[in-house]
Amino acid sequence: MIDISTVEYEVELVSESGTRSLLNDALLSLEWEENINELAQRATLTFANLKIGGSWLIETAKINCMIQIYGKWGGGKTLVFDGTIWEWNYASSTQKELTITAYDYLIRLQQSKDFKYYSAGMSTQAIISDICGDWGVSVSYQWGQSMTHEKKALSGLTISDMIIGLLEEVKQQTGEKYIAYYKDGQLQIVDYGTNSPIYKFDGKNTVSTKDKLSINDLVTKVKVIGKQDDEGRFSVDAVVDGDTSYGVLQEIIRRDGDKAVGTAIAEANALLKTRGKPDELIQITVPDLKP
């Protein structure tokens, strides 16, 4: 377990010529994050426009140059973010500060759209590996959950939405969570809560915490709908109740194609497992650490 108060960070810039520069002396603030329903990790960095290696930082930190962030603990350092500059904003009249937004490679999958078709019977891993292969991204699929999909006609979606949609379909059927992120040149898909190392937050290194509960996404009842008849009516094949103490908040599962009623009921139970309780969001604020 790592005490977060002992971690130090380094930021390196790789210029267009391939020259590496340590930017710690110019660094004013640093944060990076992974957002819900996004594959790419984002880093936001603010620098004073100092001379680094004989050139002003604004002259060398160009769009598409590489930004790498290293965490240092124990006896060495570990690469914790590896991305490229996607956007920068320079305020010259007052602060003379350069703010950079960088993303890892998967931002290209979030910004690009395509058309893909897959026949029925392919596994989750096989489809995702094929999608990513077109973009030169290999897949390390270590999540313990998978399924065999019906035919998929993925039309005009972003690449990341295709991937997340497939993973969410498995999550809906199994009720098990996953984590998807970019590391070592791969899309890593792993079980939720299996990260190593584990970071420790306690009173010594925590400024404040915020705990938010919400039922905006709550589902307490699921109705399974069958096929449409000639007059446009749908049959109700099953109704699955969850915890209705918060009232009835209903979701629909359509039994398309050859999906059996039992399969649809299993999906309904999995949906209640993942969305059947109030959503809790915990935010932790820690001190600004020495870079």
In this prediction, residue 259 carries a pLDDT of: 77
| Dist CA 225 CA 222 (whole Å) | 10
Q: Which residues of 218-255 are buried (b: 16+ CB within 10 A; e: fewer)?
A: bbbbbbbbbeeeeeeeeeebbebebeeeeeebebebeb
**For 264-287, how does the pLDDT look when each residue is reduced to its tens digit (9 = 90+)?**
898 899 889 888 999 887 777 765
Check residue 2 and give its pLDDT: 65
Q: Of 265, 231, 267, 236, which Cα lies nearest the Cα of 149? A: 267
According to the model, what pLDDT value does residue 249 have? 93
Low-confidence ranges of the chain (pLDDT < 50): 290-291
In CATH terms, are 2-104 and 109-191 the same topology? no
User: 83-141 pLDDT, tens per residue?
Assistant: 999 999 887 766 688 999 999 999 999 999 999 999 999 999 999 999 999 999 999 99
Q: How is the chain split into domains, by residue range?
A: 2-104, 109-191, 206-291
Class assignment of domain 109-191? alpha beta
Class level of CATH domain 2-104:
mainly beta
Tokens of 180: 């998807």
